[in-house]
Structure 1
Amino acid sequence: MKQKKPHVEKKRTLIETLFSLRESEPEFYSDNVIKSIILMMFIGGTDTTATTLEWTMSLLLNHPEILKKVKVEIDSQVGHGRLINDLDIAKLPYLRCVLNETLRLYPTSPLLLPHFSSTDCTVGGYHIPQGTILLVNVFFMNRDPKVWEEPTMFKPERFEVIKGEKEGFKFIPFGIGRRACPGGGLALRVISLALGALIQCFDWERVGKEMVDMTAGSGLFLMSKTKPLEAVCTPCPSMANILSQL
């Protein structure tokens, strides 16, 4: 008698889900809409994530004491018997503080995304005509000395007492309200996992004694480093067994 195999529900990919929606709601999910969604996922989930990860590693290499503190947290909460996973993120508050502080100093999109005023309005005493293009300069908001103590310093500890959009919305790396970036939560989790895995599995050092160049490029909607990051990484002996299985 053959043993009946347990039923395992197959997880569908994003493309499979979109094609299914096209069958049930063709008036909303045309080929152009599906292609646009996939394109936005690629653009919003690759360049922005990689840019933020590069800025974070650059800051950590220039502040090895902070890098060591993050590694100690990961080692104590995750250990060396497995890779960090999504369920670990909530147990790594200092890692989140480091990521938030990076987004404060080097927001991926320094002017957020442009919006148009739908009607005439007045904001802060300024008249905004209908149809005006509006940009939010979060780069300078995040470095305003009236709001932030030592605004140009890399101090992740400041976020131990700041929770997201509290305290007058002074930290809004993905915007606020209904027009905020819908992928902000996903981006934070993806970057947290990638950064955590890099720190868990490797020891990191600067190429030489000089500090990593932190000069930013001139991009308006994607702020990347002028000089790409170069670093020396060595596999951690305690993670050798895990790395060999990848």
Structure 2
Amino acid sequence: MAVELPLLSLKIALVGVVVVALIFVLFFLLGRFKPKKNLPTEVGGAWPIIGHLHLFGDSQPAHIIFAAMADKYGPAFTVRLGQYRTLVVSSWELIKELYNIQDTVALDRPKSSVAKNLGYDYAMFGFCPYGPYWREIRKLVAVELLSVRRLELLKHIRISETEICIKELYKLWNKKRNVSSSSKGHVLVEMKQWFEDLTLNVILRMVAGKRYFGDVDLSEDREARKCQEVLKELFRLIGLFLVSDSIPLLRWLDWGGYEKKMKVISKEMDQIADGWLREHRQKKEFRKDTGGDHQDFMDVMISLLDGAENAAGYDADTITKATCINLIAGGSDTTSATLSWAVALLLNNPRVLKKVQEELDFQVGRERQVSESDIPDLVYLQAMVNETLRLYPAGALGGIREFTEDSVICGYHIPKGTRLLPNLWKLHRDPKHSLDHDVKTQKAWQHANKMTNEKEMKV
């Protein structure tokens, strides 16, 4: 027995080694013959830790670099921005499936320094994670500000501000024409600033009931310029790509001092919004005594949130200020930038400018100003605006999102946690859909020519 026990132990050990070896071989073979998931192509040249961040410099904007990558790797590819895998798409089919069919899997917003420091710690619905809070605020905005009924009620604001802007331009032209005899009726005007003042006045009156530019005194003008500067800086910082968001370990460095700037701007914007909130509460007490109805979106929010329990950990004032600032920042700079591009494109394309003028003369005439009811008849003007939005979208890259679960998009397997970045600039220039665009443009051009011929026949 003393001899057989060691031999038995040795046999058991050998059997154990063989079993373990068989298990490893089995897993290896199963892995080899397991169907491979169809992952999107990853761009080559990634570095450890930073991924593809070294490919993005100051020489070209990110959307141009991504467009060049799409030409090489296809309409869907991945890059590693720091430690995060990011899916960049520039295909109409992919965009449609992502935002129409499988929108719930890619609606979450990743955490970022911008959302924390400028978005009231994720209280702004444009930055907050997908969930009940986001749905409630989005619904409130859609119903109380962007619905057809509400836009119709606020139509007088758009009309009055546009009329005031045109009158002031005429006064400026008349004044400078009389002063300078060599101008030949031409006056140089910085239209970009005029558009910024106009759009800020419109959105401020609709959201906060404030009007900053135009017939205001010196103190209000200083407050207006301060608000405009803060909003510009806010919008600039929102569009920044911070290394700390891709490599969280480097957040403590605050590379470039951007987080410090964000905190300063956030404090200044909060002080301005706080002043608006106090004014609205005072006006609300006054309306209780004299009667009256809500005048703007901030009034509506104060009434709806008054006495309500904290939502997602935010108090009513924080939600009101964050939502209003979100709307003002998102609706002012984007609109003024699009208007500036539209005018620049018209001035650089005299033939198109002439067709727009002829359509206005034919459909509206020169005896009155254009009204919103004329827009359906201004087919060529609408085509010109659509072309401006196509060529120069206010946001060349869409807002970044994150997949909350494993998904299959147009045959591609997308792992959970992958981030989504649509390249709208490249999408608008997709040659596969250029034919549809050319047909629409041609129809608008034919419409304009038809009107010109009819006008000449009448004359």
Q: Percent identity?
A: 37
Q: How does 1:26-175 map to 2 (within 5 A)?
A: 27=310, 30-149=316-435, 157-158=441-442, 160=444
Change (3 A) 1:26 1:86: farther
SS across alignment from 1:19 = helix
CA displacement, residues 60-91 of structure 1 (integer Å, 9 cap, x when unaligned): 11111111111222233233343322222222
Q: Which residue of structure 2 lines up, in the alignment, with residue 23 of structure 1? A: 306
CA separation in 2, counterparts of 1:78 and 1:10? 35
Q: Which ranges in structure 2 are unaligned for 5 or more consecutive residues?
A: 1-291, 446-459
Change (3 A) 1:130 1:159: farther
Change (3 A) 1:95 1:10: farther
Amino acid at match of 1:86: E
Q: Which residue of structure 1 lines up, in the alignment, with residue 243 of structure 2? A: none
CA separation in 2, counterparts of 1:99 and 1:42? 22
Give 1:52 shift. 0.9
SS across alignment from 1:110 = coil
Give 1:99 shift. 0.9
Q: How does 1:191-230 map to 2 (within 5 A)?
A: none
Question: Are the aligned partners of 1:119 and 1:129 in contact in 2 as well (CA < 8 Å)?
Answer: yes
TM-score in terms of structure 1 length: 0.54
Change (3 A) 1:24 1:83: farther
Give 1:47 shift. 0.9
CA separation in 1, counterparts of 2:364 and 2:420? 44
CA separation in 1, counterparts of 2:322 and 2:361? 41
SS across alignment from 1:134 = strand
SS across alignment from 1:33 = helix
SS across alignment from 2:432 = coil
SS across alignment from 1:122 = strand
Q: Which residue of structure 2 lines up, in the alignment, with residue 195 of structure 1? A: none
Q: Which residue of structure 1 lines up, in the alignment, with residue 146 of structure 2? A: none
TM-score in terms of structure 2 length: 0.30
SS across alignment from 1:84 = coil
SS across alignment from 2:295 = coil
Amino acid at match of 1:66: V
Question: Are the aligned partners of 2:383 and 2:444 in contact in 1 as well (CA < 8 Å)?
Answer: yes
Question: Are the aligned partners of 2:400 and 2:420 in contact in 1 as well (CA < 8 Å)?
Answer: yes
SS across alignment from 2:433 = coil
Q: Max radius of gyration: which structure?
A: 2
User: What is the total number of aligned residue pairs between the two structures?
Assistant: 152
Give 1:114 shift. 1.3
CA separation in 2, counterparts of 1:73 and 1:26? 54
CA separation in 1, counterparts of 2:419 and 2:294? 41
CA displacement, residues 13-72 of structure 1 (integer Å, 9 cap, x when unaligned): 122112121226454571111111111111111111111111111111111111111122
Question: Are the aligned partners of 2:294 and 2:300 in contact in 1 as well (CA < 8 Å)?
Answer: no
SS across alignment from 2:408 = strand
Change (3 A) 1:76 1:60: same
Q: Aligned Cα RMSD in Å?
A: 3.0
Amino acid at match of 2:353: L
SS across alignment from 2:422 = coil
CA separation in 2, counterparts of 1:10 and 1:74? 38
Change (3 A) 1:90 1:150: closer
Q: Which ranges in structure 1 are unaligned for 5 or more consecutive residues?
A: 1-8, 162-246
CA separation in 1, counterparts of 2:309 and 2:377? 43
- Tell me, yes or no, if structure 1 residue 14 matches structure 2 residue 289: no
CA separation in 2, counterparts of 1:159 and 1:12? 42
Q: Which residue of structure 2 lines up, in the alignment, with residue 215 of structure 1? A: none
Give 1:119 shift. 0.9
